[in-house]
Amino acid sequence: MKPIGKHSLLGASGEISDFQEILRYLDELILYDNMWDDGNSLGPKEVHNYLTRVMYNRRNKFNPLWNSLVLGGVKNGQKYLGTVSMIGVNFEDNHVATGFGNHLARPILRQEWHENLSFEDGVRLLEKCMRVLLYRDRSAVNKLQIAKITEDGVTISQPYSLKTYWEFSAFENPAQGAI
């Protein structure tokens, strides 16, 4: 995760070197925007649109950036959350996910998320989603970070481990009952 400008936070999955290239593009964009010195700054919607164009352009050149991106932010009281795939497919919603999270976490979010969710309840919901994803990929690491975006800026927590329980009988002997 990386703060972008004054109002946004970018998260990525995929190739780290491609993410670093995206960050270089964004650093140039933010620097160019700041050089105008007009008191205006890019908001999350503008950054998301820019990333959509970058990813789609690289796809069309048959040299895609191998990342899935999530961009969130708050500007002038307006919350924004969007995602962009490596081929430029994008959307915005109240909750987004990338990769396997689209299949396993989004249904949980659709069922349990609501507009008035407190920050603490939101963290518990995200931990539940991440625990489901972790249990389905035993090679995954059980560490995560939580970010909070407000008008005052971005706060990113230190990495911490999810509490897990691996003593379920299906985990102890997964081949039992297999033919």
Per-residue pLDDT tens over the stretch 117-155 = 999 999 999 999 999 999 888 788 889 999 999 999 999
CA 158 to chain CA centroid, nearest Å = 16
- pLDDT digits 0-9 by tens, 35-48: 888 888 999 999 99
Q: Indicate whether 86 and 43 sit together in one domain.
A: yes
pLDDT of residue 128: 96
**When comparing pLDDT for 97 and 177, which is higher?**
97
- Closest residue by Cα to residue 54 from 35, 28, 81, 75: 28
- What pLDDT is attached to residue 179? 67
Tell me: do 55 and 130 sit in the same domain. no
Pick from 61, 57, 90, 67: nearest CA to 17: 67
Which residue bears the tokens 């033919």?
Answer: 179
Check residues 15 and 135 and name the one with the higher pLDDT. 15
Please tell me whether residues 74 and 123 are part of one structural domain. Answer: no
Residue 110 is assigned to a structural domain of this protein = yes
Question: How many domains, in total, are found in the chain?
Answer: 2
Q: pLDDT digit string (tens) for 80-120?
A: 999 999 999 999 999 999 999 999 999 999 999 999 999 99
Mean pLDDT throughout 61-86? 97
Whether residue 178 is predicted with pLDDT greater than 90 in this model: the reply is no
* Domain co-membership, 2 together with 85: yes
Q: Does residue 109 lie in a domain region?
A: yes
Q: Do 106 and 127 reside in the same domain of the chain?
A: yes
* Boundaries of domain holding 52: 1-93
Tell me, what's the pLDDT at 170? 76
Q: For residue 165, what pLDDT is reported?
A: 85
User: What pLDDT does 139 receive?
Assistant: 80
Nearest in space to 48 (alpha carbons), one of 24, 80, 3: 80
23 and 78 both lie in a single domain: yes
Confidence at residue 129, expressed as pLDDT on a 0 to 100 scale: 96
Statement: residue 52 has pLDDT above 90? yes
* Predicted model pTM: 0.88
pLDDT the model gives residue 39? 83
Laid out side by side, the sheet with 2-4 consists of: 2-4, 8-14, 67-75, 78-84, 90-92
